């Protein structure tokens, strides 16, 4: 985990407090889902998934509109995750992540109760191998 710290530290710039507010636990939960990827890519992919989950939560997807500051922080999380995925993942994994987010957004827009975010993102990681 120590070798991963510099990568994570760089990616958390301007995301003050999120690591302590649960992003670290979310990140650790995704580490099991990325073990079949190259060792160098694992922390980046786990962090990307955790940032997507945090970003969607901050934006209040499917719920009441979040305050402006939370929306912007959510946007930053999603942008950072997008860059990590673009830099690290294969095209098939990029598409799998995009489809998971599309499904979440479509379900939220229709007012339905869809699958949990983590289930969809873990599914994307598994299908994108």
The predicted structure's pLDDT at residue 4: 58
Check: CB of residue 129 under 8 Å from CB of residue 37.
Answer: yes
Structure-block tokens of residue 87: 């830099």
The predicted structure's pLDDT at residue 7: 65
Under 8 Å CB-to-CB from 122, ≥6 apart: which residues? 30, 33, 49
Q: What is the pLDDT of residues 44-86, one digit of tens each?
A: 999 999 999 999 999 888 777 788 988 899 999 999 999 999 9
Check: CB of residue 54 under 8 Å from CB of residue 73.
Answer: no
Give the pLDDT band of residue 6 (cuts 50, 70, 90). Answer: low
pLDDT at 3 over 50: no
Question: What's this model's pTM, rounded to 2 decimal places?
Answer: 0.89
The predicted structure's pLDDT at residue 119: 94
Higher pLDDT, 67 or 13: 67
CB atoms closer than 10 angstroms to residue 45: 25
Alpha helices in 32-90 (DSSP H): 42-59, 68-88
Q: How far is CA 93 from the centre of its chain?
A: 13
Average confidence score pLDDT of the chain: 87
The predicted structure's pLDDT at residue 63: 78
The predicted structure's pLDDT at residue 100: 93
Structure-block tokens of residue 34: 């990325």
Check: CB of residue 23 under 8 Å from CB of residue 62.
Answer: no
Tally: H helices and E strands in the chain: 6, 0
The predicted structure's pLDDT at residue 1: 41
């Amino acid at each position: 985990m120590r070798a991963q710290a510099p990568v994570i530290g760089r990616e958390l710039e301007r995301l003050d407090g999120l690591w302590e507010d649960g992003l670290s636990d979310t990140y650790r939960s995704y580490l099991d889902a990325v073990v079949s990827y190259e060792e160098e890519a694992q922390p980046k992919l786990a962090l990307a998934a955790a940032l997507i989950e945090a970003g969607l939560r901050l934006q209040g997807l499917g719920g009441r509109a979040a305050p402006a500051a939370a929306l912007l922080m959510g946007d930053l999380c999603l942008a950072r995750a997008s860059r990590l995925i673009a830099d690290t993942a294969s095209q098939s994994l990029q598409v799998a992540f995009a489809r998971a987010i599309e499904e979440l957004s479509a379900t939220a827009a229709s007012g339905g109760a869809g699958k949990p975010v983590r289930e969809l993102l873990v599914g994307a990681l598994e299908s994108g191998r």
